[in-house]
Amino acid sequence: MIALAAALAVAAFASQPVGFDGWDDTSDYGDDGGYGGWAPSAAPSTVAGVPPVPKPVEVGPGADQLLRSGEPRVIAVLLGHTGLVRAAQFSADGKTVVSASWDGTARLWDGVTGRPLTTIAVPGNGKLQTAAFSPDGARVVTAGEDGVAHVWETAGGRLVATLSGHSKQIDAAAFSGDGRRIATGARDGKARVFDAASGAVVRTLNAGGHVSSVALDRDGSRVLTASSEGEARLWDFRTASATRFNVSVPSFNRGLGWIGFLGDGGRVAVAGRSVELFDAATGARLAAFADHFRPVSLSASADGRKLLGAANHGSVKLWNTAAGEQLLDLSVGSSLYHAALSPDGSRIAVSRSNWVELWRIDLLPEEREMIRRALDSKVTIPPNQPGSASGRFRRNF
C-alpha cells in the first residue's frame, strides 16, 4: 500500500502551480443569465497574501519534473484578457483552448501548457459571450452582444465567414459534428443554423425566450435548444418540429444553463435546477442528480461518460453519467463563470473574472501505465512537494 500510495503521487505537472480563492468582485448573476455590475478583479499576482501567479510553463517529460496525482492542481493561469472571460472551450483533440471575453477578443492557448497562441480581435466593440471550435480544430466561431457570429481560422486568425440574422445578443454557438453547420442561440428568441462555409442561414427555429444554449448532432440533422423560459427542445432540422424535454426548473428562475448531446448522441444532458439526462429518441428522463446545484454550465467528455458542472458560487463537480455518481467536488473560489472539461477528462478550463485557470484533475492512460511500470520495476518515486491547489476538493474513485 505504501508503494501504491507513492506511485499514485505521480502525473506530469509543472512545479509550483498556484490555485486561487476569494477574489473580490462586484458581479451580480442576473435571472436572465447576464452579469450586471461586473468590474475586473485585481490581477491574481497583485492580491495581498497570495503568491505571484506563475507564468505558463511547458509540461512535458523531464527528469526535473514532479510526477504526481491524488489532488486537482492548477497547471497554468491564462492571463491577457482585460474584460470578463465569459467562456472557455477545448478543441476536440484537447490540444487547444479558446477563451471569449467581454474585452472583444478571443484568445487561443495551448491546452496543456497554457502558452498563448493567437489573439483574435472581433470587429466592433461588442462583448463576446461564446466561442467554439470546429471538430477538426481548424476554425473557431465567436459571438456576442452585437448579434453577429464570426468564423475564424485558428492558424493565424483570418476571418472566413460572418453569420448575420439575429436582432439581439447571441449567447451560444456550436458546430455540428461534421463541421458543415453552425447553430447560434440569441436573446431574440431564435436559434439559427448556418452553412459554416458560406455563412448563409439554412434554418431558423422559434425557440422562445432567451436562447441560452444550442447544440448540433454529428451530421447537423438534430438541433438542441435551451431557453430562459425553462424550455429544452430537440428539433428535427428538416421539418423544424420539436420534442420538449420535461425539465425540472424552480418557479423563481426558469432559465436553463446548458444543453448538449452526450457521446454518440443517444442521450441529452440539461442544466436546470439539477442535472438531468434524457433519451434523445423518446424524450424520456433517464436520470437526475445534483438537485438544487443549478449549474451555469455543463461540459461532457468525448465519450459522454463524464459530465462537468460549474455553479456561480465557485463549485465545480464531476459526475459519471452512467450512474450519476459524483467523482469530484472542487471549490475553485468566487467569480466562476464557466468551466469546460477536456475531451479525455483529464483537465478543466475554468473562467474566473478576467483570466482562465487550467487544472489537471485526472491521470491520462499513459500516465497510469507509467505508474504500473514503476510499481512493477520498484522504481523509487520522489516524495510530494508543496504547491497544491487552494480550496476544497473531494474525489471518489
pLDDT score of 226 more than 60: yes
pLDDT score of 86 more than 80: yes
pLDDT score of 44 more than 50: no
Secondary structure of the chain in HEC code, one letter for each residue:
CHHHHHHCCCCECCCCCCCCCCCCCCCEECCCCCEECCCCCCCHHHCCCCCCCCCCCCCCCCCCCCECCCCCEEEEEECCCCCCEEEEEECCCCCEEEEEECCCEEEEEECCCCCEEEEEECCCCCCEEEEEECCCCCEEEEEECCCCEEEEECCCCCEEEEECCCCCCEEEEEECCCCCEEEEEECCCEEEEEECCCCCEEEEEECCCCEEEEEECCCCCEEEEEECCCCEEEEECCCCCEEEECCCCCCCCCCCCEEEEECCCCEEEEECCCEEEEECCCCCEEEEECCCCCCCEEEECCCCCEEEEECCCCEEEEEECCCCEEEEEEECCCCEEEEEECCCCCEEEEEECCEEEEEECCCCHHHHHHHHHHHHHCCCCCCCCCCCCCCCEEECC
pLDDT at 291: 85
Residue type, 43: A
pLDDT score of 287 more than 90: yes
pLDDT score of 16 more than 90: no
Mean predicted confidence (pLDDT) in 1-29: 34
pLDDT at 315: 92
pLDDT score of 390 more than 50: no
pLDDT at 178: 96
Q: Determine if the pTM surpasses 0.75.
A: yes
pLDDT score of 382 more than 90: no
pLDDT band per the 50, 70, 90 thresholds, residue 62: very low
Q: Are 236 and 225 in contact (CB under 8 A)?
A: no
Give the percent of the chain with pLDDT over 70. Answer: 73
pLDDT in tens, 109-149: 999 999 999 999 999 768 999 999 999 999 999 999 999 99
Give the percent of the chain with pLDDT over 90. Answer: 60
Task: Spell out the domains of the chain, with CATH numbers in brackets.
Answer: 72-363 (2.130.10.10)
pLDDT band per the 50, 70, 90 thresholds, residue 304: very high
Residue type, 114: G
pLDDT at 5: 38
